[in-house]
């Protein structure tokens, strides 16, 4: 028989190659896939019926791939042992160790050192499947895509049917739908929500959260600056299919007004309160009538103007502001007015003697600076964050006539502030005054000072007014979306804006596990290639497999009694018969080798290697 007929075939030596190719291919695919964020995967995994299925599938694949890698290492160990048996000798201890490694068995009757090596290798079996499971598990992530959202726009409205008919209008033109209540005169319609927000503009434990005045259930984190109305009212149009995955957040840029209020006290203020008509003497329950009237530093002036009547503090030639109010005395009166002039927007307050006199004679400059804002909508927290980016063109086409920041939209906001004063003073209290005092008290507490401190009073007034103006502007924008934007007779009332949308997505594998799988697979491939090179592709490896018990029995029986005699000789020297207990077998260092007699593989013992003083393999 040709000696090469006793050698293992090339095909048997390549048995681990398909597994290595599979594990290496999947490793590469996982690395490439880890850079891909999939909304489809998110939708699939998060369906209730697919959660358990996904976990089971991952565990099965992880154990299969782990088995492939452990099988590769065990096969390499088996090949090397078979080759070594042919060309050199092994001790019985070494044979047991390598056979245990090759067959993935725990053999307890090994010396402690070899047992430690075996246990380390067995424990290594747990690593590959664990790493594969982590490398293949879907990880919650996000994906950025692009889309658009409709924003309010203000085309010419010469017939005053929509946004251009709101100043001094008594018709609120209310629209109600499933998204809320909307009007181009939002101040009287939404004054309850507006007052609540303006009464507490300072947060002592973080960013101020203010609910949006519609049914979107969104809230502003910080100031709204009058923008962000589209959030929750308009649908996102996405540039690609999202496969049912939710949007985590989206952002866009919007033009609007950065409102800034600067207040001071003007002791020479020409806006005041005077008795118009006292209640009849003896008339119980009949209030006095007062006149809130006067002029502001920016009131229109014409030396030829003749009012035809006068009141305390009136300055001839100026166009005055006035309205009447009532009360049992003037202590509950807070009278506020605004004047918009092409060069200056102003507000003035006058109060009676009593609860609200800390607000008396305050005058404020109000600036509407056309600006561009970044609007970020976090759908997971339902918060809207608005950040001013800089100046921009005016969104109001009437600004061409009045000047930037002085068009119909700013005028509507100022008129809304005045309407609060005209409609919210009753016989006993001023709701508007209470709003200001509440916010002043909050700021005083935050500053650890008194609410009568002038700087605190002015700061509280400024913050409350800015909050009111922001809410009025958001309400106005919302009305443009819901009234003109839904009306076919008002084209171009909305405009699309590019949005950056962060979608919920998943990617495959966590980075540490991907690195672990890649390193482990590289090491196994490196070991395979090194052994393949070192042994010249296991040249001369016999067909005889020491892991097959039948082959071992036949080969040992054909090898004669030398091996058994060597081991039993050690037992006779110790006066200790061997009863078949593998744990008490002596002669563990007896060396064996594989030989061929008449082309038949036999296992032979080498007598010269027997250590008579040797201890048992392991005591039980």
How far apart are the C-alpha atoms of 406 and 613, rounded to whole Å?
A: 109
CB 195 within 8 A of CB 161: no
Find the mean pLDDT for residues 356-362. 95
pLDDT at 14: 79
Residue 182 — φ and ψ, nearest 5°?
Answer: -135, 145
DSSP alpha helix (H) spans, 301-398: none
Q: Residue 524 CB: number of other CB atoms within 10 A?
A: 22
Residue 100 — φ and ψ, nearest 5°?
Answer: -65, -40
Give DSSP secondary structure letters for 110-175: S-HHHHHHHHHHHHHTHHHHHHHHHHHSEEEEEEEEEEEEEEE-----TT-SSGGG-TT-S----E
Q: How confident is the model at residue 617 (pLDDT cuts 50, 70, 90)?
A: very low
Does the structure show a pLDDT above 80 at 302?
yes
Does the structure show a pLDDT above 80 at 502?
yes
Give the pairing type, strands 219-221 and 383-391.
parallel
How far apart are the C-alpha atoms of 551 and 365, rounded to whole Å?
A: 102
582: Cβ–Cβ under 8 A, 6 or more apart, which residues? 109, 617
Predicted structure pTM score: 0.75
Lowest mean pLDDT among 281-285, 590-594, 605-609: 605-609
Q: Which of 149, 177, 28, 146 is nearest to 487 (CA)?
A: 177
Paired with 603 in beta bridges are 594
pLDDT at 129: 87
pLDDT at 510: 82
Q: How confident is the model at residue 483 (pLDDT cuts 50, 70, 90)?
A: very high
Buried/exposed code over 445-461 (b: 16+ C-beta within 10 A; e: otherwise): eeeeeebebeebbbbbb
Q: Which of 117-131, 366-380, 438-452, 573-587 shows the highest mean pLDDT?
A: 366-380
Q: Which of 546, 362, 521, 549 is nearest to 456 (CA)?
A: 362
How far apart are the C-alpha atoms of 308 and 32, rounded to whole Å?
A: 85
Q: How confident is the model at residue 308 (pLDDT cuts 50, 70, 90)?
A: confident
Residue 405 — φ and ψ, nearest 5°?
Answer: 85, 10
Find the mean pLDDT for residues 293-312. 86
pLDDT at 547: 64
Residue 546 — φ and ψ, nearest 5°?
Answer: -70, -10
pLDDT at 618: 40
pLDDT at 566: 67
Does the structure show a pLDDT above 50 at 404?
yes
CB 553 within 8 A of CB 570: no
Cα 139 from chain centroid (whole Å): 13
Angle at which helix 126-136 crosses helix 48-87, to 10 degrees, equals 140
The percent of residues above 90 in pLDDT, for the chain, comes to: 41
How far apart are the C-alpha atoms of 450 and 532, rounded to whole Å?
A: 86
Question: What is the signed CA dihedral for 74, 79, 81, 87, rounded to 10 degrees?
Answer: -170
Coil, strand or helix at 403: coil
Does the structure show a pLDDT above 90 at 395?
yes
Q: What are the tens digits of pLDDT across the range 190-206?
A: 999 999 999 999 876 77
Residue 280 — φ and ψ, nearest 5°?
Answer: -55, 140
Coil, strand or helix at 228: coil
């Amino acid at each position: 028989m040709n000696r090469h007929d006793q050698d293992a075939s090339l095909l048997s030596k390549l048995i681990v190659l398909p597994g290595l190719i599979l594990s290496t291919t999947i490793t590469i695919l996982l690395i490439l896939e880890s850079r891909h964020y999939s909304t489809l995967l998110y939708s699939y995994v998060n369906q209730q019926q697919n959660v358990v299925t996904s976990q089971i599938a991952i565990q099965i694949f992880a154990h299969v791939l782990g088995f492939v890698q452990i099988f590769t290492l065990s096969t390499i160990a088996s090949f090397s042992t078979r080759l070594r048996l042919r060309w050199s000798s092994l001790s019985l201890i070494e044979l047991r160790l390598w056979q245990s490694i090759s067959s993935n068995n725990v053999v307890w009757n090994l010396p402690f050192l070899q047992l430690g090596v075996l246990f380390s290798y067995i424990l290594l079996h747990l690593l590959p499947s664990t790493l594969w499971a982590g490398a293949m598990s879907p990880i919650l992530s996000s994906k950025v895509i692009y889309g658009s959202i409709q924003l309010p726009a203000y085309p010419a409205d010469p017939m005053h049917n929509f946004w251009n008919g709101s100043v001094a209008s008594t018709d609120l033109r209310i629209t109600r739908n499933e998204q809320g209540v909307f009007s181009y005169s939002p101040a009287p319609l939404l004054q309850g929500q507006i007052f609540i927000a303006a009464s507490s503009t300072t947060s002592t434990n973080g960013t101020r959260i203010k609910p949006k005045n519609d049914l979107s259930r969104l809230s502003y984190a910080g100031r709204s600056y009058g923008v962000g109305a589209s959030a929750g009212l308009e649908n996102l149009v996405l540039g690609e299919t999202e496969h049912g995955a939710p949007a985590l957040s989206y952002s866009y840029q919007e033009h609007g007004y950065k409102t800034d209020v600067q207040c001071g006290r003007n002791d020479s203020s020409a806006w005041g309160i005077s008795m118009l008509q006292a209640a009849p003497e003896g008339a119980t329950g009949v209030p006095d009538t007062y006149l809130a009237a006067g002029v502001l530093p920016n009131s229109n002036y014409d030396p030829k103007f003749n009012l035809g009547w006068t009141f305390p503090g009136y300055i001839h030639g100026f166009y005055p502001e006035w309205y009447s109010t009532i009360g049992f005395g003037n202590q509950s009166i807070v009278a506020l007015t605004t004047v918009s002039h092409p060069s200056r927007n102003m507000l003035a307050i006058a109060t009676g003697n009593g609860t609200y006199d800390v607000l008396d004679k305050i005058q404020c400059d109000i600036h509407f600076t056309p600006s561009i804002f970044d609007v970020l909508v976090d759908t997971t927290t339902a918060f809207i964050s608005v950040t001013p980016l800089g100046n921009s063109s005016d969104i109001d086409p009437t600004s061409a006539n009045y000047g930037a920041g002085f068009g119909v939209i700013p005028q509507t906001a100022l008129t809304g502030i005045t309407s609060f004063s005209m409609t919210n003073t009753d016989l006993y209290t001023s709701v508007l005054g209470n709003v200001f005092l509440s916010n002043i008290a909050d700021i005083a507490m935050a500053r650890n000072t008194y609410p009568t401190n002038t700087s605190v009073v002015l700061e509280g007034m400024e913050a409350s007014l800015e909050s009111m103006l922001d809410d009025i502007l958001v309400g106005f924008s919302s009305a443009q979306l819901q009234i003109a934007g839904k009306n076919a007779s008002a084209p171009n009332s909305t405009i699309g804006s590019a949005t950056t949308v962060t979608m919920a997505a998943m990617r495959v594998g966590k980075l540490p596990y991907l690195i672990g799988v890649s390193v482990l697979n590289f090491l196994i491939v490196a070991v395979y290639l090194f052994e393949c090179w070192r042994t010249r592709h296991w040249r001369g490896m016999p067909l005889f497999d020491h892991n097959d018990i039948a082959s071992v029995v036949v080969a040992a029986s054909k090898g004669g009694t030398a091996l058994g005699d060597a081991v039993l000789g050690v037992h006779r020297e110790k006066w200790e018969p061997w009863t078949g207990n593998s744990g008490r077998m002596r002669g563990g260092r007896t060396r064996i080798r594989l030989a061929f007699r008449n082309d038949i593989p036999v296992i032979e013992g080498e007598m010269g290697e027997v250590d008579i003083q040797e201890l048992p393999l392991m005591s039980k």
